[in-house]
Amino acid sequence: MVKKIIFWVISVLITLSMAVYQRLTGPTHPERFQVELNGTNYKIQLPRSHNGTSDCEITIEVKDSVISGILLFKRFKINESYDTLLFNHKGDFLSAFLPGQPPAGKLEYLVELYDEEGQLFKTTQPVIIRFKNIVPGYILIPHILFIFAAMLLSTLSGFYAAGNISSYRFYTGLTVILFLIGGMILGPVVQKYAFGEFWTGFPFGKDLTDNKALIATIFWIIAWAGNRRTNRRYLVILAALVNLVIGLIPHSVRGSELDYSTGEIKTGMILFSCFF
């Protein structure tokens, strides 16, 4: 009994750690900066994802009315000049709007802040933002819950198999069901709502999110089938390890991206820069 409790606690901690890691490395996590403007410290958050295809408001907290700013932007991977927008004061914030883009469309943008004496702040690298259609909560929330429940039971099944606890078979079967529903059914539905395509993984594309779900499901089906009539605990341990490795790949690192030259949605790469 004590061993089971220990395995549950460790599995929960690993799953929560993975959830935080996926959040911090995913495309919905904003670019963060800490800057000092005329003696006042500010935390700037620049979005890298926008729900909807409407204009995206970029807001920066600046309480000093003498500070102004410009927003430079252009379409991602398009050889064109940057357009320039002026930030407007809106209470204690500077505000400007990036123009809306089609689903999976991306813009790269830069922020520059000035006072009467010159430049105070400038992003050294463009921030990449991706636009997507809004996914209904009744689809998105179950998808997330099923995926993280699958991650939890995947880890637990691996520990149970390693500890030779007989109920590992039950949890292995449950893990398969969770991956099938969360990754192979709800996952494509989320993709369809967000970007207009059900599946952009193998063999139709190189979307890592789709392919991660596919690989995890295949390994767990093999582990479940291999333990139906005999003990092949090593298959469960292997599937759990594979899922942990998959969990270390940032979410949507190679996801849907609009090719502006053709109008087609293809597989693109999420670019990462430093968080401050």
What does the pLDDT profile of the chain (276 residues) look like in tens digits? 888 889 999 999 999 998 888 877 777 788 888 887 877 788 899 999 999 889 999 999 888 888 899 999 999 989 999 999 999 998 889 999 999 999 989 999 999 999 878 788 889 899 999 999 999 999 999 999 999 999 999 999 999 999 999 899 999 999 999 999 999 999 999 988 988 778 777 777 677 778 888 999 999 999 999 998 888 999 999 999 999 998 887 765 566 788 888 877 776 554 444 333
In the chain, where the domains are located: 2-26+135-267, 31-132
- Domain 31-132 classified CATH 3.30.1330.10? no
Whole-angstrom distance between the N-terminal and C-terminal Cα of the chain?
Answer: 44
Helix (H, G, I), strand (E, B) or coil at 165: coil
**Which residues lie across from 43 on neighbouring strands?**
34
Q: Say which DSSP state 29 is in.
A: S
CA distance linking residue 177 with residue 156, whole number of Å? 15
pTM equals 0.80
Q: Would you say how long the chain is, in residues?
A: 276
CA distance linking residue 236 with residue 224, whole number of Å? 8
pLDDT for 143:
94
CA distance linking residue 130 with residue 113, whole number of Å? 23
CA distance linking residue 154 with residue 238, whole number of Å? 10
Cβ atoms 96, 81 nearer than 8 A: no
